[in-house]
Amino acid sequence: MKNQPSFHLLFILAISLILAACDEGTTSSPEAKWGIIPKPQKLIASEGALHLSNNFTVEAPAKFGTAEKELSSFLAGKTQLSQANAADANGKIYLILDSMRSFNNEGYSLEVNQDEVKLTSNTQEGIHRALASLKQLILLNETDGSYFLPFVKIEDWASFEHRGLLLDCSRHFFEVDVVKKYIDLLAFYKMNTLHWHLTEDQGWRIAIDKYPNLTEIGAYRTEADGSVYGGFYSREDIKEIVAYATSKHIEVIPEIELPGHSQAAVAAYPHLSCTGQSVPVANDWGVFKEIYCAGNDSVFIFLEDVLTEVMELFPSDYIHIGGDEAPKVRWEECDKCQRRISEEGLADAEELQSYFIRRIQTFLSESGKQIIGWDEILEGGLAKGALVQSWRGMEGGIEAVKHGNQAIMSPTSHAYFDYGLDAIDLKKVYSFNPIPAGLSKEEQKLIIGGECNIWTEHVPDEKTLDSRVFPRLLAMAEVLWSDSTSRDYPEFVERIQTHYPLLEKHGVQYGKESVAMSHQMELDAGVAYLELIPYSEEISLKYQYDCLDCDQVETEYTTLIPILKSGTIRIQPFKNQRPYGDSIFIPVSNHRAVNAQVNYISEFSEWYTAGGERGLVDGKLGTLNFRDGAWQGFWGDDLECTIQLYGASEISSVSAHFYQYNNSWVFIPTEMTVEVSSDGKNWKSWETVSSNNDPKQRGKFIQSIQIRSTTPEQVTFIRLTAKNIEKVPDWHEAAGSDAWIFIDEIIVE
Ligand SMILES: [Zn+2]
C-alpha cells in the first residue's frame, strides 16, 4: 500500500475564490501576521499576500461534510467587507483539499501562494484543524475591514491526541448558546474534547426520561437566601449540542459522577443512598457524604438505566464516571454495604469503591464504551482498560501508565482554571508538560493528553466564565498541540496580543494574563525582606508600610523592603501611570524566629508549602485567600516541628495563626503545645492550650493561638505541636476524610 500512489480524493473541495494577488512591494499589503495559536509544527512564511474579494463560489462533494459550508459562510462575511477594493480581481484561486499525504488523524498542510490556497489532509478532522489555521490567518490579517492572506507554507499535526476542556455546568448552569460558543472556541484553538460535567451534589443537569425527578427535583437547589437556582438540558438540547460539536470535530464526553458527588440524585430518589432518608439538593460547596449505596442492587439498576439513556445521546466512545471524592462514612455504617464487602470478599470500603467502578465499567464495556475516572479510581485496585484522569498532581497518571492504563493529565498545579491568577497564571499554564520525568517511551505513549478544568462553584455567569478560561485556554491549547521544544513564552505573549481582538469578536470577555505582580520573601541573617516582582516592564509599583509607628507614606518601589515592623504592606500596581487592578495587602511580622532553622517532625503538604522549609519563619503572614502562598498545610496529621534560634534569646511568647474553612476540610487545631530547650535535648513544657474552636463554624477565618511564659526565658530551641482533628467530623458532608491544618507563621517574641 505504501508505494501505491493514493487517489482517495475523498474530500476534494474546489472552492473557487476570486482573489487578488497584491502587487509586491506596494503599500497596500500591511505587515503580515502569522501568529497562529497553537503554534504550527512547521511554518515557512514568505513575502507577499492575497487579498480576499467578493464573487467567490464554493464547490465540494457532499462527502466532504460540513467544512465546505463552514468555510463559505466564514468567507462570505469577510469578502463582503472588502467589496470596496475588489475591483482589481484578476483570476481564480483554488482551495483544494485532498488526501494525498499521510499525517496523523488531525494533521494537515496549508499553503498560500500567488496561485492558490491549498488545504490538505487525509481526514475530516485534519481539514477542520486546517480550517482553524486558515480562519486565524485571515482574521489576524485584517486591515480596515479588508482581509488578506499572507503567503505561507504550513505542515502541522497534534502532539497529543486528547486536548480537552472540562466545563462544569452543574455547580452553575450555562445555557445551550454558551456551550456552543465554547465549542466554537475549542475548535478555533484546535482543542478536540469537551468534557461536560453534568451531575453534581448541587444539581443534576441532564434529562433522563425514565427518572423525571432527576431534573424536576435534582436540577434545582434552594440557596441560603431562599431563592431557587437551577436548570437542565433537555434531550433535544443535548442532541443539538452534540451535533454542533460533531460538525466541528469536537468530541463531547459526558461525566456522570458516581459513587460520590451524587447528592442531587439522592435528593430526587432517596432510596439510592445508604440511609434512604430524604436530603435536599446541596446548596453549599464541598464534598458530601450522601453517596450511592454500594450494597443496594437497585442503585445499579438505576445507574444502568441512566447510562443507557446517556449512551443514546452521546456517540463518544468514552463515558466519564467521576469516581473522585467519595467519603466512605455512610458505607462504613451501612448493613447492605458491609454485607456486600463480605459477600464479595473485599477488604474494606476502598475495595468496595473498586467493586462499584468495575461493575459500572463492565456494564458500559458491554456497549463498547470505555470509562474515564478521576485518579481516586486507582484506590482499592484499578480496573483494566480504565482511563485515568490525574488531578491530584501527576502521580495518579504515573501510577496508571505503570499499570499499563492510559492517562489524561489535568493537575491542580497547572490545569485548574477556577483557581486565581495568583496560583495559576498564563505563564504557569504555558510551562505545563503533560509528560512527567522518569517514564519509559512506552509509558509516555500511554499519556494521551491533557485537559484544563473550569469548575464553577465561584463562576456564576458567562462573563466570569470567560475571564477564567481566557486567555489561559490558549496556553493549554499550545501545550497540547505544539512541539514542546518550540516553547518560547515571550514570543507566545506577543502572539497572544494579536488574538485579543479575535476573542472580542467571538464575544469573549477575557481576563488578565497574570496578577500585576508577584512577591517573595528573601531571608538574610535574622531579617526578612519583601521582594516585589512586576509582571511586565509597563507595570510600576507603589507601596505603603502600615504599622503602629511607621511613616505611612506611599513610596515608589525600587528595592527590597526590609520587614522591621509588624504590620501590613499595601501595594498598588500602575500601568501607564494609572492604577492597574486592586491594591494588594501583604501582612508581615518581624519577630525573633525570622530565618531560624526549622526541623519538621511531621511533613507539610507539597501543595501548601508556604514557600518551603523556612515558610513558617519568613515574616510573611497569610490572608483569607488560602492559596496566597503563605499557608503551610498538614493533611490528616499533626503539625510538629522544632525551631532553632540564632543562639540563645530571651523570649516570652510563641504564637501562631491557623485557618479554618471547613468546606475545604481545613480546621483550626484542637490544641497547641509549646516546649522550650537550651540544648535541644532537655525540654521544658510551657503550656498546652485548647483552641476552644467550633469546627462547625462556616466561612473562612483565621485564629491566633498564643502561649506566654510568666517570666521571659533564655532559650535556643522551641518545639511546637498542633493537634489535628484528624478526620472530618461525622456531621460534616465529607465525614471521615482526612482533615487539614493550615498555619502561616510561628511568631516568637
Ligand atoms: Zn450502603
pLDDT of residue 29: 54
Q: How, if at all, do strands 117-120 and 370-374 pair?
A: unpaired
- What would the pLDDT profile of 268-294 be if each residue is shown by its tens digit? 999 999 999 999 999 999 888 999 999
Using CA atoms, how far apart are residues 230 and 223, in angstroms rounded to an integer? 10
Give dist(CA 659, CA 676) in Å, integer: 25
Amino acid 700: pLDDT: 95
What is the reported pLDDT for 123?
A: 84
Is a pLDDT exceeding 90 seen at residue 581? no
Q: In this structure, which amino acid lies at residue 143?
A: T
Q: How many whole angstroms separate alpha carbon 501 and alpha carbon 621?
A: 40
Give 454 Cα–ligand 1 centroid separation in angstroms. 31
Helices 124-140, 176-188: inter-axial angle, 10-degree rounding: 90
Mean pLDDT over 346-373 rounds to: 95
pLDDT grade, residue 743 (50/70/90)? very high
pLDDT band at 13 (very low <50, low <70, confident <90, very high): very low
The whole-number average pLDDT for the span 314-322 is: 97
Query: Is a pLDDT exceeding 60 seen at residue 4?
Result: no
How much distance in Å is there from the Cα of 349 to the middle of ligand 1?
A: 10
Segment (H or E) for 677: strand 671-677
Distance 474 CA to ligand 1 centre (A): 44
What separation in Å is there between the alpha carbon of 244 and the centre of ligand 1?
40
Per the CB < 8 A criterion, the answer to whether 666 and 738 are in contact is: no
Q: Tell me, in angstroms, the distance from the centre of ligand 1 to residue 353's CA.
A: 11
Q: Are 36 and 152 in contact (CB under 8 A)?
A: no
Give per-residue pLDDT as tens, 193-213: 999 999 999 999 999 999 999
pLDDT of 410 reads 98
* Model confidence at 686: pLDDT above 70: yes
Average pLDDT, the chain: 90
- How far is the centre of ligand 1, averaged over its atoms, from the C-alpha of 395 (Å)? 30
The alpha carbon of 267 and the centre of ligand 1 are apart by a number of angstroms equal to: 16
641/599 Cα distance (integer angstroms): 6
Q: Which residues contact 241 (CB under 8 A, 6 or more apart)?
A: 176, 179, 180, 183, 233, 252
Percent of the chain with pLDDT over 70: 91
What separation in Å is there between the alpha carbon of 261 and the centre of ligand 1? 15
Radius of gyration of the chain (CA): 29
- Going from the Cα of 290 to the center of ligand 1, the distance in angstroms, rounded, reads 10
Residues 6+ positions from 33 with CB-CB distance below 8 Å: 137, 140, 141, 150, 498
Amino acid symbol at 395: E
Ligand 1 centre distance from Cα of residue 397 (Å): 30
- C-alpha 406 to ligand 1 mean position (Å): 31
- What is the structure's pLDDT at 726? 92
- Please answer whether residues 561 and 529 qualify as being in contact, where contact means their C-beta atoms are separated by less than 8 angstroms: yes
From ligand 1's centre to the CA of 528, what distance in Å?
54
Cβ atoms of 747 and 618 closer than 8 Å: no
Q: Ligand 1 centre and the CA of 504: distance in Å?
A: 51
332 touches 293 (CB < 8 A): no
Q: Are the C-beta atoms of residues 744 and 631 closer than 8 Å to each other?
A: yes
Nearest 5°: CA angle at 322, between 374 and 332? Answer: 95
**Residue 93 confidence (pLDDT) above 50:** no
pLDDT of residue 14: 41
How much distance in Å is there from the Cα of 294 to the middle of ligand 1? 5
> How many Å lie between the centroid of ligand 1 and the Cα of residue 166?
30
Distance 169 CA to ligand 1 centre (A): 28
| Contact between 506 and 456 (Cβ < 8 Å) | no
Q: What pLDDT score does 526 carry?
A: 85
Q: How far is the CA of 224 from the centre of ligand 1 (A)?
A: 29
Asked if pLDDT for residue 116 goes beyond 80, the answer is no
**pTM given for the model:** 0.84
pLDDT at residue 119, rounded to an integer: 85
DSSP string, 12-27: --EEEEEEEEPPTT-T
pLDDT (tens digit, 9 = 90+) per residue, 133-180?
Answer: 999 999 999 888 788 889 999 999 999 999 999 999 999 999 999 999
> Half-sphere exposure (CA, 13 Å, Cβ side) for 492?
26
Distance 291 CA to ligand 1 centre (A): 9
Ligand 1 centre from 208 Cα, in Å?
Answer: 24
Tell me what pLDDT residue 49 has: 85
- Alpha carbon of 154 to ligand 1 centroid (Å): 58
Residue 118, pLDDT score:
83
Residue 320 in grid coordinates: 466519564
Question: Maximum distance among all alpha carbons in the chain?
Answer: 96
How far does residue 589's CA lie from ligand 1's centre (Å)?
50
Ligand 1 centroid from CA 661, angstroms: 29
CA 293 / ligand 1 centre spacing (Å): 4
The pLDDT-based confidence of 84 (bands split at 50, 70, 90) is very low
- Identity of residue 509: Q
Rounded to the nearest whole angstrom, what is the distance from the C-alpha of residue 347 to the centroid of ligand 1? 16
Residue 349 CA neighbour count, 13 Å, CB half: 18
- Let me know if 62 is exposed, middle or buried by CB neighbors in 10 A (0-12, 13-18, 19+): exposed
Residue 742 phi, psi dihedral angles, 5° rounding: -120, 130
CA 727 to centroid of ligand 1, rounded, Å = 20
- The residue that leads in pLDDT, 224 or 78, is 224
Ligand 1 centroid, distance to 455 Cα (angstroms):
28
The 10s digit of each residue's pLDDT in 32-53 is 889 999 999 999 999 888 877 6
Per-residue pLDDT at 56: 52
Cα 272 to ligand 1 centroid, rounded to whole Å: 9
- Please check the confidence at residue 60 and state whether its pLDDT lies above 70: no
- The rounded Å distance from CA 348 to ligand 1 centre is 13
Alpha carbon of 399 to those of 257, 403, 741: distances in Å? 22, 6, 27
**CB 389 within 8 Å of CB 439:** no
pLDDT at 404 over 70: yes
Cα 295 to ligand 1 centroid, rounded to whole Å: 5
The CA 379 to ligand 1 mean position distance, Å, reads 19
Say how many Å lie between the CA of residue 276 and the centre of ligand 1: 9
The rounded Å distance from CA 336 to ligand 1 centre is: 5
Calculate how far, in angstroms, residue 737's C-alpha sits from the geometric centre of ligand 1: 17
pLDDT in tens, 228-259: 999 999 999 999 999 999 999 999 999 999 99
pLDDT in tens, 617-671: 999 999 999 988 999 999 999 999 999 998 899 999 999 999 999 999 999 999 9
Q: How far is the CA of 740 from the centre of ligand 1 (A)?
A: 27
pLDDT at residue 703 in the model: 96
From the CA of 120, how far away is ligand 1's center (Å)?
A: 56
For residue 113, the model assigns a pLDDT of: 84
DSSP string for residues in 684-730 = EEEEEEE----TT--S-EEEEEEEEEEEEEEEEEEEEEE----B--T
Distance 331 CA to ligand 1 centre (A): 5
**Can you give the pLDDT at residue 31?**
81
Band of residue 98 on the pLDDT scale cut at 50, 70, 90: low
Ligand 1 centre distance from Cα of residue 274 (Å)? 4
Dist. CA 325 → ligand 1 center (Å): 16
The C-alpha torsion from 385 through 386 and 391 to 393, rounded to 10°, is -30
The alpha carbon torsion through 17, 18, 19, 23 (nearest 10 deg) reads 150
Mean predicted confidence (pLDDT) in 713-721: 96
SS3 of the chain: helix, strand, coil, percent, to 5: 25, 30, 45
Q: Would the CA dihedral through 234, 238, 243, 244 be positive or negative?
A: positive
Average pLDDT rounded to a whole number, residues 420-441: 95
Confidence of residue 573 (pLDDT cuts 50, 70, 90): very high
C-alpha cell of residue 480? 497540547
User: How many Å lie between the centroid of ligand 1 and the Cα of residue 222?
Assistant: 27
Ligand 1 centre to CA of 335 (Å) is 7
Q: What does the pLDDT average to over 117-129?
A: 86
Q: Which phi and psi angles does 308 have, rounded to 5°?
A: -65, -45
More confident position, 57 or 340? 340
Ligand 1 centroid–CA 332 distance in Å is 8
How many angstroms does the Cα of residue 356 sit away from the middle of ligand 1?
Answer: 11
In the reported structure, the alpha carbon of residue 279 is separated from the centroid of ligand 1 by a whole-number distance in angstroms of 16
Q: What is the mean pLDDT of residues 83-111?
A: 59
- Cα of 273 to ligand 1 centre, how many Å? 7
Name 541's bridge partners. Answer: 573
